[in-house]
Amino acid sequence: MEFIDLKAQYRRYQTEIDLRMRKVLEHGQFIMGPEIVELEQVLAEYVGVPHCITVASGTASLEIALRALEIGPGDEVITVPFTWISTAEVISLVGAKPVFVDIEPATYNLDLDRLEAAFSPRTKAVIPVSLFGQMPDYARINQIAGRHGVPVMEDAAQSFGARQNGRPSCGVTTLASTSFFPAKPFGCYGDGGALFTTDAALAERMRAIRSHGGLKRHDHPWLGTNGRFDTLQAAVLLAKWPHFKWEVEERRRIGARYSEQLRGSCVVPEIAKGNTHVYAQYTVRVPQRDHVATELKAQGIPTAVYYPKCLHQQPVFASLGYQTGDFPVSEKSSVEVLSLPMHPFLADKEQDRIVHAFKTQAHP
Ligand SMILES: Cc1ncc(COP(=O)(O)O)c(C=O)c1O
């Protein structure tokens, strides 16, 4: 059994993927080929914003965005300590300081009641994470950040395909960043990511920074990087695109089926009002997490822990001065969460075996 079955996905779409990739091999425009523009148009339209800029990874996209916002030394950026390292890593990489706000236990997303207190005159942006595949309340986040005059960037690496009150993830904040890492809800077969924004000037800067700080060859008004998305990977995503809606529906169906069967034996994911969930991870909370994981592994059922250590407890962020105990909800989550196999090709029979094995081991 696979935790995320990418081989099953490739088998299903092989004809289209091979054809699209072969086209790239034949036209030979490997860097910024026509598939890049085609994909950016398709994704911008889906998200409902005028600008999509594909980039080399979800980490590169966050960093390029912070550079475009001219965030650097002396600045603070608010985010959560219960996320993948990238979210905070990029803040330090541009020379700014990550300021952490705890999550709330039901959704693992930013606790909005604690957000206001984290602002200082040095705050230059807020990066909420739409963790595991559902969005925090962006109407409220935008309102709070708006009062302080700072932009909100959704880290939507795990939530592409999710919606909030009918509006798609990546389309509800000043700017948003997603990842096409293979295991993500809309993954390619290597690294990749994208930025979305309604702000034309910001879009132009991000486009420039992606490619050595200029939009014309040998003209570099900005300090940029090589952050371009690969044309072959754009071809993979274009081949997968017609199936994306189906995949999102399957994820929702499989997630709901897990919750129906597991409720009572662990804490199942709660879907906030107005949200749809794409279950980048199907994550439950169970006190004897490590025991359950070991027993499932012995039965050939892979699980994963996202995340076993909070970012304020990581050595790389020791200089920020946080202590264990500062973010109790994140810390408790890090010792109790367990993610179960989740992908659109998970058969009911396989899922039943996972549920049975889990229930046998978990004692609430
Ligand atoms: C919340 C979050 N942010 C950022 C990233 C970074 O994406 P990438 O792996 O494409 O650099 C990830 C992916 O792992 C993620 O889960």
Tell me the pLDDT of the chain (364 aa) as tens digits. 999 999 999 999 999 999 999 999 999 999 999 999 999 999 999 999 999 999 999 999 999 999 999 999 999 999 999 999 999 999 999 999 999 999 999 999 999 999 999 999 999 999 999 999 999 999 999 999 999 999 999 999 999 999 999 999 999 999 999 999 999 999 999 999 999 999 999 999 999 999 999 999 999 999 999 999 999 999 999 999 999 999 999 999 999 999 999 999 999 999 999 999 999 999 999 989 999 999 999 999 999 999 999 999 999 999 999 999 999 999 999 999 999 999 999 999 999 999 999 999 886 5
Cβ-contact 173, 197 below 8 angstroms: no
CA angle 257, 262, 264 (to 5 degrees): 135
The residue whose CA has the least distance to atom 7 of ligand 1 is 58
Q: How far apart are CA 6 and CA 16, in angstroms?
A: 15
Q: How far is the CA of 134 from the centre of ligand 1 (A)?
A: 15
End-to-end, the C-alpha distance of the chain in Å comes to 26
265 C-alpha to center of ligand 1: Å? 30
**How many Cβ atoms sit within 10 Å of the Cβ of residue 245?**
11
List phi, psi (to 5°) of 176.
-145, 150
For residue 115, which of 90, 150, 84 has the smallest C-alpha distance? 150
Taking the CA of residue 57 as reference, the ligand 1 atom at the shortest distance is 10
158 CA: nearest ligand 1 atom = 16
Number of H helices, E strands in the chain: 10, 11
Q: Give backbone dihedrals phi and psi of 189, rounded to 5 degrees, phi first.
A: -110, 40
Length, in residues, of the chain: 364
Q: How far is ligand 1, taken at its centre, from the CA of residue 356, in Å? A: 31
Whole-prediction pTM = 0.98
Nearest CA to ligand 1 atom 12: 157
Task: Give the Cα separation of 340 and 132 in Å (integer).
Answer: 12
Beta carbons of 175 and 65 less than 8 angstroms apart:
yes
Ligand 1 center–CA 24 separation, angstroms: 26
> d(Cα 99, Cα 320) in Å, to the nearest integer?
8
Q: 179 C-alpha vs ligand 1 centroid, how far in Å?
A: 6
CA of 362 to the centre of ligand 1 (A): 30
Residues within a 6 A CB radius of ligand 1 = 57-59, 83-84, 86-87, 129, 155, 157-158, 179, 181, 191, 193
